[in-house]
Amino acid sequence: MHSPKWALLLIIISSLFSSGLCLDFLETAKSDEFFSWMVGIRRKIHENPELGYEEYETSKIIRNELGRLGIEYKYPVAVTGVVGYVGTGAPPFVAARADMDALAMQEMVEWEHKSKVPGKMHACGHDAHVTMLLGAAKILKDNSHLLKGTVLLVFQPAEEGGGGAIQVVESGILENVRAIFGLHVSPDLPVGQVSSRSGTLLAGSGFFEAVITGKGGHAAIPQHSIDPVLAASNVVLSLQQLISREADPLDSQVVTVAKFQGGGAFNVIPDSVTIGGTFRAFSKETFLQLKRRIQEVIIGQATVQRCSATVEFSSKDKPFFPATINDNGLHEFFQDVAGDVLGPSNVKTMLPLMGSEDFSVYQEVIPGYFYFLGMKNKSNKNPASVHSPFFEVNEDILPFGAAMHASLVANYLTEIQKLDEKHHDEL
- The CATH code for residues 21-202+323-426 is 3.40.630.10
Examine the pLDDT at 398 and tell me if it is beyond 50.
Answer: yes
Mark residue 70 as left, alpha or beta (left: phi above 0; alpha: psi -120 to 50; beta: remaining). Answer: left
Examine the pLDDT at 315 and tell me if it is beyond 80.
Answer: no
* Amino acid sitting at position 164: G
Q: How far apart are CA 350 and CA 73, in angstroms?
A: 35
Q: How far apart are CA 114 and CA 294, in angstroms?
A: 40
Examine the pLDDT at 417 and tell me if it is beyond 50.
Answer: yes
The share of the chain scoring above pLDDT 70, in percent, equals 93
Examine the pLDDT at 189 and tell me if it is beyond 80.
Answer: yes
Examine the pLDDT at 407 and tell me if it is beyond 90.
Answer: yes
| 24 contact partners, CB below 8 Å, separation of at least 6 | none
Express each pLDDT in 122-139 by its tens digit: 999 999 999 999 999 999
Least confident of 77-81, 281-285, 414-418: 414-418
User: What fold, for 204-313?
Assistant: Alpha-Beta Plaits (3.30.70)
Q: Which of 288, 294, 269, 318 is nearest to 210 (CA)?
A: 294
Neighbour-count burial for 237-263, b at 16+ CB within 10 Å, e otherwise: ebbeebbeeebeeeebbbbebeeeebb
Examine the pLDDT at 22 and tell me if it is beyond 80.
Answer: no
Give the DSSP H or E segment for 110: none
Examine the pLDDT at 1 and tell me if it is beyond 60.
Answer: no
Helices (H), 71-161: 126-142
Better-scored residue on pLDDT, 11 or 343: 343
How high is the pLDDT of residue 15? 43
Calculated CA dihedral for residues 404, 407, 412, 418, nearest 10 degrees = -160
Mark residue 89 as left, alpha or beta (left: phi above 0; alpha: psi -120 to 50; beta: remaining). Answer: left
Q: Could you count the other beta carbons within 10 Å of the beta carbon of residue 277?
A: 19
The alpha carbon of residue 50 and the mean position of all alpha carbons in its chain are separated, in whole angstroms, by: 16
Examine the pLDDT at 19 and tell me if it is beyond 50.
Answer: no
Give the DSSP H or E segment for 174: none
The share of the chain scoring above pLDDT 90, in percent, equals 89
How high is the pLDDT of residue 423? 60
Express each pLDDT in 230-272 by its tens digit: 999 999 999 999 999 999 999 999 999 999 999 999 999 999 9
Contact status, residue 49 vs residue 117, Cβ threshold 8 Å: yes
Examine the pLDDT at 7 and tell me if it is beyond 60.
Answer: no
Average model confidence (pLDDT) for the chain? 93
Phi, psi at 2, each rounded to 5° = -80, 150
What sign does the CA torsion over 325, 331, 335, 337 have? Answer: negative
Examine the pLDDT at 21 and tell me if it is beyond 60.
Answer: no
Taking CA atoms, 244 is separated from 163, 234, 247, 252, 255, in Å, by: 30, 16, 6, 11, 10
How high is the pLDDT of residue 323? 97
How high is the pLDDT of residue 382? 79
Residues annotated in the binding site for Mn(2+), as ranges?
Answer: 124, 126, 160, 184, 387
Q: What DSSP assignment string belongs to 6-28?
A: HHHHHHHHHHHHHTT-SS-HHHH
How high is the pLDDT of residue 12? 39
pTM across the whole model: 0.90
The pLDDT confidence band at residue 419, using thresholds 50, 70 and 90, is: confident
Examine the pLDDT at 154 and tell me if it is beyond 60.
Answer: yes
Question: What are 240's strand-pairing partners?
Answer: none
Q: How far apart are CA 78 and CA 65, in angstroms?
A: 20
Examine the pLDDT at 180 and tell me if it is beyond 70.
Answer: yes
Express each pLDDT in 365-391 by its tens digit: 999 999 999 999 877 767 899 999 999
Taking CA atoms, 235 is separated from 76, 210, 314, in Å, by: 43, 10, 19
Examine the pLDDT at 150 and tell me if it is beyond 80.
Answer: yes
**Domain range annotation of the chain:** 21-202+323-426, 204-313
> How many CA atoms are closer than 13 Å to the CA of 416, on its beta-carbon side?
22
| 76 contact partners, CB below 8 Å, separation of at least 6 | 59, 82
